[in-house]
Amino acid sequence: MADLDPKRLARIFRALGNENRLQLFINLLEESRLDLAKGRVHDCFLTKLLDGLKVGAPTVSHHVKELADAGLIDTEREGKQLICSVKPEVMDELRALFAVEV
Amino acid sequence: MADLDPKRLARIFRALGNENRLQLFINLLEESRLDLAKGRVHDCFLTKLLDGLKVGAPTVSHHVKELADAGLIDTEREGKQLICSVKPEVMDELRALFAVEV
DNA sequence: TCTACACTTTGAAAGGTTTCGAACTATCAG
DNA sequence: CTGATAGTTCGAAACCTTTCAAAGTGTAGA
């Protein structure tokens, strides 16, 4: 446990620490789960993720960048749209952190 | 996954999103782990947690309250000292969140 | 080429966070 | 009672975040 980087980790948690950004991330997780169940690739357009979020496009754009800069998601342009995908290695890392017996 | 509360979760992540507060939490986790290995109870005095933190007492007091208010830790007075312990049910909850296959 | 679409950038307002020093409370030992 | 210890509360300074409106970029279709 001594090998983890608090600066990087704190940035990840800060990214998840805003309600709208967290909802964005949860929506993306949910999309991934559905896609996996259907045997499709696990990525997602931005507009599909706005479910229940009451913020404008500039704000979403900003939030997506925060999630990407924190290392939680990858983004890729496909034509007009932006494809987002959760990075599996971060999921592994965070799961391990919370796997400590207390 | 639809049953999780983004408002509460975001508060938890916001609490972990400050570097010093995260270090405090990690130190507490580490203490818990050591205590468990020695068969002792898993709680910890505040002063033991200040390892490597360059902030004053008022700031630490504030950070501990933030972690407690977020529901990450429990605190209890014992004479002059404050005993902190990580809440196992939050660890379970967070582990489950990051256990989603992506 | 013109238009619509999907997102991004910029700049600014409003509000939140982190931290500290100073003063405070509570407990314990002598 | 006195002094030392452990933590808290208050108030303020400096800084960071969230959000939006307006204007901008790049892509695709008519």
With a 7 Å cutoff on the CB, does B75 touch strand D? Answer: yes
Predicted confidence at residue B1, as pLDDT, reads: 76
B63-80 burial string, b = 16+ CB within 10 Å, else e?
bbebbbebbbbeeeeeee
Q: What is the mean pLDDT of residues B80-96?
A: 96
Predicted confidence at residue B66, as pLDDT, reads: 98
Residues B47-73: tens digit of each pLDDT: 777 767 889 999 999 999 999 999 999
CA of A10 to C1' of C28 (A): 38
Q: In the CATH hierarchy, which top-level class contains the domain B6-97?
A: mainly alpha
What lies within 8 Å, CB to CB, of A37 at 6+ separation is: none
In this predicted structure, the answer to whether residue B43 has a pLDDT above a threshold of 60 is: no
Contacts of A7 in chain B (CB under 8 A): 19
Predicted confidence at residue A34, as pLDDT, reads: 78
CA of B92 to C1' of C13 (A): 40
Predicted confidence at residue B70, as pLDDT, reads: 98
With a 7 Å cutoff on the CB, does A81 touch strand D? Answer: no
Task: Write out chain A in H/E/C secondary structure.
Answer: CCCCCHHHHHHHHHHHCCHHHHHHHHHHHHHHHHHHHCCCCCCEECHHHHCCCCCCHHHHHHHHHHHHHCCCEEEEEECCEEEEEECHHHHHHHHHHCCCCC
Predicted confidence at residue B40, as pLDDT, reads: 58
Q: Domain locations in chain A?
A: 6-97
Render each residue's pLDDT in chain A as its tens digit; 102 residues: 767 899 999 999 999 999 999 999 999 999 888 777 676 665 557 777 776 788 999 999 999 999 999 999 999 999 999 999 999 999 999 999 999 998
Nearest beta carbon to residue A32 from set B6, B13, B102: B102
Predicted confidence at residue B82, as pLDDT, reads: 93
Predicted confidence at residue A4, as pLDDT, reads: 87
Predicted confidence at residue A35, as pLDDT, reads: 78
CA of A81 to C1' of D30 (A): 20
Is residue A27 within 8 Å of B94, Cβ to Cβ? Answer: no
* Closest CA in chain B for residue A73: B102
Residue A12: CA count within 13 A, CB half-sphere: 19
- CB atoms < 10 A from the CB of B84, how many? 25
Q: If pLDDT is split at 50, 70 and 90, which confidence band does B35 have?
A: confident
Cβ contact, residue pair B102, A88, below 8 Å: yes
Predicted confidence at residue A51, as pLDDT, reads: 66
- CB atoms < 10 A from the CB of B22, how many? 23
Cβ contact, residue pair A16, B32, below 8 Å: no
What lies within 8 Å, CB to CB, of A6 at 6+ separation is: B19, B22, B23, B26
Q: Which two tokens stand for residue A67?
A: 């999630």
Amino acid found at B20: N
Best of B9, B13, B53 to disrupt the A interface (most A CBs within 10 Å) is: B13
Q: If pLDDT is split at 50, 70 and 90, which confidence band does B28 have?
A: very high
With a 7 Å cutoff on the CB, does B64 touch strand D? Answer: yes
Task: List residues, Cβ < 7 Å, touching strand C.
Answer: A 45-47, 57-58, 60-62, 64-65, 75, 80-82; B 14, 17-21, 54-59, 62-63, 66, 79-80
Cα A27 to Cα A25: distance, rounded to the nearest angstrom: 5
In this predicted structure, the answer to whether residue B42 has a pLDDT above a threshold of 70 is: no
Predicted confidence at residue B47, as pLDDT, reads: 72
Residues B2-11: tens digit of each pLDDT: 678 999 999 9
Predicted confidence at residue A44, as pLDDT, reads: 57
CA of B79 to C1' of C26 (A): 9
Cα B68 to Cα B19: distance, rounded to the nearest angstrom: 16
